[in-house]
Structure 1
Protein backbone atom coordinates (compact mmCIF):
# COMPACT_ATOMS: atom_id res chain seq x y z
CA UNK A 1 0.00 0.00 0.00
CA UNK A 2 1.27 3.50 -0.78
CA UNK A 3 0.08 6.95 0.06
CA UNK A 4 -1.86 8.34 -2.92
CA UNK A 5 -0.27 11.78 -2.57
CA UNK A 6 3.25 10.29 -2.34
CA UNK A 7 3.14 7.21 -4.62
CA UNK A 8 6.85 6.44 -4.17
CA UNK A 9 6.74 6.46 -0.36
CA UNK A 10 5.81 3.19 1.39
CA UNK A 11 2.99 3.62 3.89
CA UNK A 12 4.33 3.09 7.38
CA UNK A 13 2.86 4.41 10.61
CA UNK A 14 5.37 5.65 13.22
CA UNK A 15 5.58 4.14 16.66
CA UNK A 16 2.69 5.37 18.82
CA UNK A 17 3.47 5.89 22.50
CA UNK A 18 0.23 5.46 24.50
CA UNK A 19 -1.29 8.25 26.56
CA UNK A 20 -0.49 8.21 30.25
CA UNK A 21 -0.89 10.15 33.49
CA UNK A 22 1.71 11.31 36.01
CA UNK A 23 0.87 12.68 39.45
CA UNK A 24 2.69 15.55 41.09
CA UNK A 25 2.29 18.30 43.63
CA UNK A 26 2.28 22.10 43.61
CA UNK A 27 5.00 23.20 46.03
CA UNK A 28 4.99 26.96 45.40
CA UNK A 29 2.64 29.43 43.68
CA UNK A 30 3.81 32.89 42.62
CA UNK A 31 2.50 35.93 40.81
CA UNK A 32 4.06 39.01 39.25
CA UNK A 33 2.19 42.20 40.12
CA UNK A 34 5.09 44.63 40.16
CA UNK A 35 4.93 45.69 36.53
CA UNK A 36 7.74 43.34 35.51
CA UNK A 37 8.18 39.58 35.13
CA UNK A 38 9.88 38.62 38.48
CA UNK A 39 7.31 37.00 40.75
CA UNK A 40 6.68 36.58 44.48
CA UNK A 41 5.33 33.62 46.43
CA UNK A 42 1.67 33.74 47.44
CA UNK A 43 -0.71 31.19 48.96
CA UNK A 44 -3.14 30.97 46.04
CA UNK A 45 -3.62 32.05 42.44
CA UNK A 46 -6.93 33.21 41.02
CA UNK A 47 -6.91 31.98 37.43
CA UNK A 48 -9.21 33.14 34.63
CA UNK A 49 -9.27 32.54 30.90
CA UNK A 50 -6.87 35.47 30.55
CA UNK A 51 -4.34 33.85 32.91
CA UNK A 52 -3.50 34.73 36.51
CA UNK A 53 -5.57 37.70 37.58
CA UNK A 54 -3.42 40.89 37.60
CA UNK A 55 -0.25 38.97 36.74
CA UNK A 56 2.33 40.55 34.43
CA UNK A 57 1.71 37.93 31.75
CA UNK A 58 -2.10 37.89 31.99
CA UNK A 59 -4.09 38.57 28.84
CA UNK A 60 -5.97 36.85 26.06
CA UNK A 61 -3.40 38.20 23.61
CA UNK A 62 0.21 39.41 23.76
CA UNK A 63 2.75 41.20 21.57
CA UNK A 64 5.13 39.05 19.53
CA UNK A 65 8.84 39.28 20.24
CA UNK A 66 12.10 37.53 19.48
CA UNK A 67 10.52 34.09 19.89
CA UNK A 68 8.28 34.76 16.87
CA UNK A 69 10.60 35.95 14.08
CA UNK A 70 7.92 35.12 11.48
CA UNK A 71 5.93 38.18 12.67
CA UNK A 72 6.98 41.83 12.84
CA UNK A 73 7.93 42.52 16.46
CA UNK A 74 4.92 43.81 18.39
CA UNK A 75 2.29 41.95 16.37
CA UNK A 76 -0.75 41.10 18.49
CA UNK A 77 -1.07 37.31 18.77
CA UNK A 78 -2.80 34.74 20.96
CA UNK A 79 -1.26 34.56 24.46
CA UNK A 80 -0.15 30.96 24.88
CA UNK A 81 2.38 32.04 27.54
CA UNK A 82 -0.05 32.96 30.32
CA UNK A 83 1.59 30.83 33.03
CA UNK A 84 5.20 29.81 33.64
CA UNK A 85 5.79 26.45 35.32
CA UNK A 86 9.13 25.17 36.62
CA UNK A 87 10.61 22.27 38.60
CA UNK A 88 13.01 22.81 41.51
CA UNK A 89 15.28 19.91 40.51
CA UNK A 90 15.79 21.30 37.00
CA UNK A 91 16.59 24.79 38.32
CA UNK A 92 19.10 23.25 40.72
CA UNK A 93 20.87 21.52 37.83
CA UNK A 94 20.96 24.76 35.84
CA UNK A 95 22.34 26.64 38.84
CA UNK A 96 25.11 24.07 39.30
CA UNK A 97 26.15 24.43 35.66
CA UNK A 98 26.22 28.21 36.09
CA UNK A 99 28.42 27.95 39.16
CA UNK A 100 25.89 29.45 41.56
CA UNK A 101 24.17 27.95 44.58
CA UNK A 102 20.57 28.45 43.47
CA UNK A 103 18.04 29.93 41.07
CA UNK A 104 14.94 31.14 42.85
CA UNK A 105 11.75 30.56 40.80
CA UNK A 106 10.63 34.14 41.33
CA UNK A 107 13.80 35.55 39.78
CA UNK A 108 12.76 34.16 36.40
CA UNK A 109 9.06 34.91 36.71
CA UNK A 110 7.77 31.44 37.52
CA UNK A 111 4.13 31.09 38.59
CA UNK A 112 4.11 27.45 39.63
CA UNK A 113 6.74 25.11 41.03
CA UNK A 114 5.69 21.49 40.53
CA UNK A 115 7.32 18.47 42.17
CA UNK A 116 7.04 14.78 41.31
CA UNK A 117 6.80 15.01 37.51
CA UNK A 118 10.12 13.91 35.99
CA UNK A 119 11.63 15.97 33.16
CA UNK A 120 8.96 18.63 33.51
CA UNK A 121 10.54 20.86 30.88
CA UNK A 122 10.11 18.31 28.12
CA UNK A 123 6.46 17.52 28.73
CA UNK A 124 5.07 17.59 25.20
CA UNK A 125 2.80 20.31 23.87
CA UNK A 126 -0.91 19.60 24.39
CA UNK A 127 -0.30 17.97 27.80
CA UNK A 128 -3.05 18.89 30.23
CA UNK A 129 -2.44 19.65 33.91
CA UNK A 130 -5.46 18.85 36.08
CA UNK A 131 -5.24 20.52 39.49
CA UNK A 132 -6.97 19.18 42.57
CA UNK A 133 -8.85 22.45 43.03
CA UNK A 134 -10.43 22.21 39.57
CA UNK A 135 -8.16 24.28 37.32
CA UNK A 136 -6.93 22.81 34.03
CA UNK A 137 -3.92 24.19 32.19
CA UNK A 138 -2.81 23.22 28.70
CA UNK A 139 0.93 23.19 28.01
CA UNK A 140 2.02 25.03 24.88
CA UNK A 141 5.65 23.91 25.07
CA UNK A 142 9.00 24.38 26.74
CA UNK A 143 10.05 27.85 27.86
CA UNK A 144 13.30 28.70 26.13
CA UNK A 145 15.74 30.50 28.49
CA UNK A 146 16.82 34.00 27.53
CA UNK A 147 19.53 36.43 28.64
CA UNK A 148 16.91 38.81 30.09
CA UNK A 149 15.98 36.21 32.71
CA UNK A 150 19.68 35.42 33.05
CA UNK A 151 20.40 39.07 33.84
CA UNK A 152 17.75 39.00 36.54
CA UNK A 153 19.50 36.00 38.12
CA UNK A 154 22.88 37.73 37.83
CA UNK A 155 21.65 40.70 39.90
CA UNK A 156 21.55 38.37 42.90
CA UNK A 157 25.25 37.55 42.51
CA UNK A 158 26.84 41.02 42.25
CA UNK A 159 30.38 39.73 42.80
CA UNK A 160 30.24 37.60 39.64
CA UNK A 161 30.60 38.58 35.97
CA UNK A 162 27.09 39.82 35.16
CA UNK A 163 27.31 39.35 31.40
CA UNK A 164 28.81 35.86 31.61
CA UNK A 165 26.21 34.79 34.16
CA UNK A 166 23.30 36.14 32.10
CA UNK A 167 24.51 34.39 28.97
CA UNK A 168 25.35 31.25 30.95
CA UNK A 169 21.72 30.85 31.88
CA UNK A 170 20.77 30.46 28.22
CA UNK A 171 22.85 27.29 27.83
CA UNK A 172 22.58 25.94 31.39
CA UNK A 173 18.77 26.16 31.46
CA UNK A 174 18.10 24.75 28.01
CA UNK A 175 15.24 22.23 28.43
CA UNK A 176 15.39 22.93 32.19
CA UNK A 177 13.57 26.27 32.35
CA UNK A 178 10.14 24.70 32.57
CA UNK A 179 7.11 25.09 30.33
CA UNK A 180 4.53 27.73 29.48
CA UNK A 181 0.81 27.04 29.54
CA UNK A 182 -2.57 28.66 28.97
CA UNK A 183 -5.79 28.33 30.94
CA UNK A 184 -8.27 25.77 29.70
CA UNK A 185 -10.49 25.78 32.81
CA UNK A 186 -10.31 28.60 35.36
CA UNK A 187 -10.49 28.54 39.13
CA UNK A 188 -8.01 28.75 42.01
CA UNK A 189 -4.63 27.03 42.38
CA UNK A 190 -3.22 26.73 45.89
CA UNK A 191 0.18 25.75 47.22
CA UNK A 192 0.23 22.13 48.34
CA UNK A 193 -2.48 20.78 46.06
CA UNK A 194 -2.10 17.72 43.86
CA UNK A 195 -1.80 17.93 40.09
CA UNK A 196 -2.07 15.26 37.39
CA UNK A 197 -0.38 15.58 34.01
CA UNK A 198 -2.28 13.88 31.18
CA UNK A 199 0.16 13.21 28.38
CA UNK A 200 -1.54 12.47 25.08
CA UNK A 201 -0.45 9.82 22.59
CA UNK A 202 2.91 10.70 21.08
CA UNK A 203 4.65 9.98 17.81
CA UNK A 204 7.34 11.38 15.55
CA UNK A 205 5.89 12.63 12.28
CA UNK A 206 7.78 10.81 9.49
CA UNK A 207 7.31 13.38 6.71
CA UNK A 208 10.29 14.94 4.98
Structure 2
Protein backbone atom coordinates (compact mmCIF):
# COMPACT_ATOMS: atom_id res chain seq x y z
CA UNK A 1 0.00 0.00 0.00
CA UNK A 2 1.51 3.34 -1.00
CA UNK A 3 1.73 6.30 1.33
CA UNK A 4 -0.52 9.29 0.63
CA UNK A 5 1.19 12.11 -1.24
CA UNK A 6 1.49 15.31 0.79
CA UNK A 7 0.32 18.72 -0.37
CA UNK A 8 3.95 19.88 0.05
CA UNK A 9 4.94 17.34 -2.61
CA UNK A 10 1.99 18.01 -4.93
CA UNK A 11 2.61 21.77 -5.24
CA UNK A 12 6.08 21.06 -6.60
CA UNK A 13 4.94 18.68 -9.36
CA UNK A 14 4.51 20.07 -12.87
CA UNK A 15 3.60 17.91 -15.87
CA UNK A 16 6.42 19.16 -18.12
CA UNK A 17 8.88 22.03 -18.48
CA UNK A 18 7.72 25.40 -19.70
CA UNK A 19 9.38 27.54 -22.36
CA UNK A 20 10.82 31.06 -22.39
CA UNK A 21 9.00 32.66 -25.36
CA UNK A 22 10.30 36.24 -25.13
CA UNK A 23 12.61 38.49 -23.12
CA UNK A 24 11.91 42.20 -22.60
CA UNK A 25 14.14 44.81 -20.98
CA UNK A 26 12.77 48.05 -19.58
CA UNK A 27 15.55 50.63 -19.98
CA UNK A 28 13.74 53.36 -18.01
CA UNK A 29 10.41 54.21 -16.46
CA UNK A 30 7.70 54.81 -19.09
CA UNK A 31 10.09 54.07 -21.98
CA UNK A 32 9.23 51.36 -24.49
CA UNK A 33 10.51 47.89 -23.67
CA UNK A 34 13.20 46.31 -25.82
CA UNK A 35 12.70 42.74 -27.04
CA UNK A 36 15.95 40.75 -27.01
CA UNK A 37 16.82 37.15 -27.88
CA UNK A 38 19.12 36.75 -24.90
CA UNK A 39 19.94 38.47 -21.63
CA UNK A 40 22.18 38.07 -18.62
CA UNK A 41 20.57 37.44 -15.22
CA UNK A 42 22.47 39.08 -12.35
CA UNK A 43 22.31 37.61 -8.84
CA UNK A 44 20.26 39.78 -6.44
CA UNK A 45 19.69 42.37 -9.20
CA UNK A 46 17.63 41.28 -12.22
CA UNK A 47 18.41 41.35 -15.94
CA UNK A 48 21.35 43.33 -17.28
CA UNK A 49 19.99 46.31 -19.23
CA UNK A 50 16.72 46.41 -17.29
CA UNK A 51 16.03 49.34 -14.99
CA UNK A 52 15.39 47.01 -12.03
CA UNK A 53 18.99 45.73 -12.22
CA UNK A 54 20.45 49.24 -12.23
CA UNK A 55 19.37 49.86 -8.63
CA UNK A 56 21.88 48.98 -5.94
CA UNK A 57 20.28 46.42 -3.59
CA UNK A 58 19.49 48.05 -0.26
CA UNK A 59 19.41 44.70 1.55
CA UNK A 60 20.97 41.26 1.23
CA UNK A 61 19.28 39.34 -1.57
CA UNK A 62 17.88 42.50 -3.15
CA UNK A 63 14.19 43.22 -3.54
CA UNK A 64 11.41 40.78 -4.42
CA UNK A 65 10.73 42.27 -7.85
CA UNK A 66 14.02 41.78 -9.73
CA UNK A 67 12.43 39.92 -12.65
CA UNK A 68 8.81 39.81 -13.77
CA UNK A 69 7.23 36.87 -15.59
CA UNK A 70 3.91 36.62 -17.42
CA UNK A 71 1.96 33.66 -18.75
CA UNK A 72 1.57 33.55 -22.55
CA UNK A 73 -1.66 31.58 -22.18
CA UNK A 74 -3.24 34.52 -20.31
CA UNK A 75 -2.86 36.98 -23.18
CA UNK A 76 -5.99 35.78 -25.03
CA UNK A 77 -7.93 36.00 -21.74
CA UNK A 78 -6.89 39.63 -21.21
CA UNK A 79 -7.72 40.34 -24.88
CA UNK A 80 -11.20 38.90 -24.36
CA UNK A 81 -11.77 40.96 -21.21
CA UNK A 82 -10.68 44.17 -22.97
CA UNK A 83 -12.36 43.28 -26.28
CA UNK A 84 -9.07 43.82 -28.10
CA UNK A 85 -8.19 41.57 -31.04
CA UNK A 86 -4.86 40.69 -29.41
CA UNK A 87 -2.50 41.72 -26.63
CA UNK A 88 1.13 42.43 -27.49
CA UNK A 89 3.11 41.09 -24.50
CA UNK A 90 5.46 44.10 -24.77
CA UNK A 91 2.54 46.34 -23.74
CA UNK A 92 2.43 44.63 -20.33
CA UNK A 93 6.07 45.49 -19.49
CA UNK A 94 7.00 42.12 -17.96
CA UNK A 95 10.54 40.78 -18.46
CA UNK A 96 9.84 37.17 -19.37
CA UNK A 97 7.00 35.68 -21.41
CA UNK A 98 6.54 32.04 -20.38
CA UNK A 99 4.40 29.29 -21.93
CA UNK A 100 3.61 25.73 -20.91
CA UNK A 101 4.12 26.25 -17.16
CA UNK A 102 1.30 27.44 -14.91
CA UNK A 103 2.91 30.49 -13.31
CA UNK A 104 0.03 30.92 -10.85
CA UNK A 105 0.92 27.50 -9.46
CA UNK A 106 4.48 28.71 -8.78
CA UNK A 107 3.20 30.98 -6.01
CA UNK A 108 4.20 29.23 -2.83
CA UNK A 109 1.53 27.86 -0.53
CA UNK A 110 4.02 27.53 2.31
CA UNK A 111 6.11 30.49 3.51
CA UNK A 112 9.05 28.24 4.39
CA UNK A 113 9.02 26.54 0.94
CA UNK A 114 9.42 29.10 -1.85
CA UNK A 115 9.12 27.76 -5.38
CA UNK A 116 12.34 27.83 -7.34
CA UNK A 117 12.54 27.73 -11.15
CA UNK A 118 15.50 27.08 -13.44
CA UNK A 119 15.66 28.75 -16.83
CA UNK A 120 18.12 27.20 -19.24
CA UNK A 121 21.26 25.66 -17.79
CA UNK A 122 22.23 28.23 -15.15
CA UNK A 123 19.63 30.79 -14.14
CA UNK A 124 17.69 30.09 -10.95
CA UNK A 125 14.82 32.31 -9.78
CA UNK A 126 12.85 32.29 -6.55
CA UNK A 127 9.21 33.15 -7.22
CA UNK A 128 8.34 35.89 -4.71
CA UNK A 129 4.69 36.67 -5.43
CA UNK A 130 2.15 38.05 -7.84
CA UNK A 131 2.98 40.92 -10.19
CA UNK A 132 -0.05 43.11 -9.75
CA UNK A 133 -1.08 45.39 -12.62
CA UNK A 134 -0.48 49.12 -12.41
CA UNK A 135 -2.69 52.06 -13.40
CA UNK A 136 -0.86 52.26 -16.76
CA UNK A 137 -2.95 49.32 -17.90
CA UNK A 138 -5.86 51.77 -18.25
CA UNK A 139 -3.74 53.85 -20.66
CA UNK A 140 -2.46 50.88 -22.60
CA UNK A 141 -5.48 48.56 -22.69
CA UNK A 142 -8.28 51.11 -22.33
CA UNK A 143 -10.95 51.58 -19.69
CA UNK A 144 -11.09 48.49 -17.48
CA UNK A 145 -7.57 47.41 -18.45
CA UNK A 146 -6.49 47.37 -14.81
CA UNK A 147 -9.26 44.93 -13.85
CA UNK A 148 -8.70 42.85 -16.99
CA UNK A 149 -5.14 42.25 -15.81
CA UNK A 150 -6.01 41.42 -12.19
CA UNK A 151 -5.13 37.78 -11.61
CA UNK A 152 -3.32 37.69 -14.96
CA UNK A 153 -0.40 40.04 -14.26
CA UNK A 154 2.16 37.29 -13.75
CA UNK A 155 4.71 36.75 -11.01
CA UNK A 156 7.76 38.48 -9.55
CA UNK A 157 11.05 36.77 -8.78
CA UNK A 158 14.53 37.18 -7.30
CA UNK A 159 17.66 35.97 -9.09
CA UNK A 160 19.38 33.31 -6.98
CA UNK A 161 21.85 32.13 -9.65
CA UNK A 162 22.80 34.30 -12.60
CA UNK A 163 23.80 33.48 -16.12
CA UNK A 164 22.57 33.68 -19.69
CA UNK A 165 18.90 33.42 -20.69
CA UNK A 166 17.82 32.78 -24.25
CA UNK A 167 14.44 32.69 -25.98
CA UNK A 168 13.52 29.02 -26.26
CA UNK A 169 15.12 27.99 -22.95
CA UNK A 170 13.29 25.36 -20.90
CA UNK A 171 11.83 26.41 -17.56
CA UNK A 172 11.59 23.81 -14.82
CA UNK A 173 10.53 23.92 -11.19
CA UNK A 174 13.10 22.68 -8.71
CA UNK A 175 12.36 21.07 -5.36
CA UNK A 176 12.86 23.33 -2.38
CA UNK A 177 15.78 22.32 -0.13
CA UNK A 178 13.37 20.98 2.51
CA UNK A 179 11.68 18.72 -0.10
CA UNK A 180 14.71 17.54 -2.10
CA UNK A 181 15.34 14.65 0.24
CA UNK A 182 11.69 13.93 1.07
CA UNK A 183 9.96 10.74 0.00
CA UNK A 184 6.94 10.97 -2.29
TM-score by length of 1: 0.68
Q: Which runs of no fewer than 5 residues in structure 2 stay unpaired?
A: 1-5, 109-113, 180-184
Q: Distance in 2 between matches of 1:51 and 1:187?
A: 11
Name the SS for the 1:57 alignment partner.
helix
Structure 1 match to 2:182: none
CA shift, 1:149, in A, is: 3.3
Q: How does 1:153-192 map to 2 (within 5 A)?
A: 153-154=140-141, 162=142, 164=143, 168-192=144-168
Please provide the CA RMSD for this pair.
2.5
Shift in alpha-carbon separation, 1:53–1:86, aligned structure 2, 3 A: same
Cα offset, 1:107, TM superposition: 1.3
The alpha-carbon deviation at position 133 of structure 1 amounts to 2.8
The superposition leaves residues 156-194 of structure 1 with CA deviations (integer Å, 9 ceiling, x where unpaired) of xxxxxx4x2xxx122222221110111000001000111
Which of 130, 136, 142 does residue 148 from structure 1 map onto?
136
Aligned partners of 1:38 and 1:108 also within 8 Å: no
Closer/same/farther in 2, CA of residues 38 and 79 from structure 1, 3 Å limit: farther
User: Aligned to 1:20, what secondary structure does the other structure show?
Assistant: coil
Mark the runs of 5 or more structure 1 residues left unpaired by the alignment: 1-14, 63-76, 155-161, 203-208
Q: Which residue does 2:91 correspond to in 1?
A: 107
For the 8 Å contact 1:84–1:178, the answer to whether it is kept is: yes
Distance 2:137 2:104 in 1: 16
Per-residue deviation at 1:140? 0.4
1:172 and 1:199 mapped to 2: Cα distance?
32
Preserved contact between residue 120 and residue 166 of structure 2 (Cα < 8 Å)? no
Q: Does 1:91 align with 2:86?
A: no
Name the SS for the 1:101 alignment partner: coil
Query: After TM superposition, which residue ranges in structure 1, 4 or more long, deviate above 6 angstroms?
Result: none
Matched, 1:16 2:7: yes
State the distance in 2 between where 1:186 and 1:141 align: 20
Moved more, 42-51 or 53-62: 53-62
Matched with 2:40 is: 46
Distance in 2 (alpha carbons) for counterparts of 1:199 and 1:90 = 25
Provide Cα deviations, 1:47-66, integer angstroms capped at 9, x if missing partner: 1121111212223547xxxx
SS for the counterpart of 1:129 is: strand
- Give the count of matched residue pairs: 161
Whichever of the two has the greater Rg, that structure is 1
Pair 1:43–1:144, CA change in 2 (3 A): same
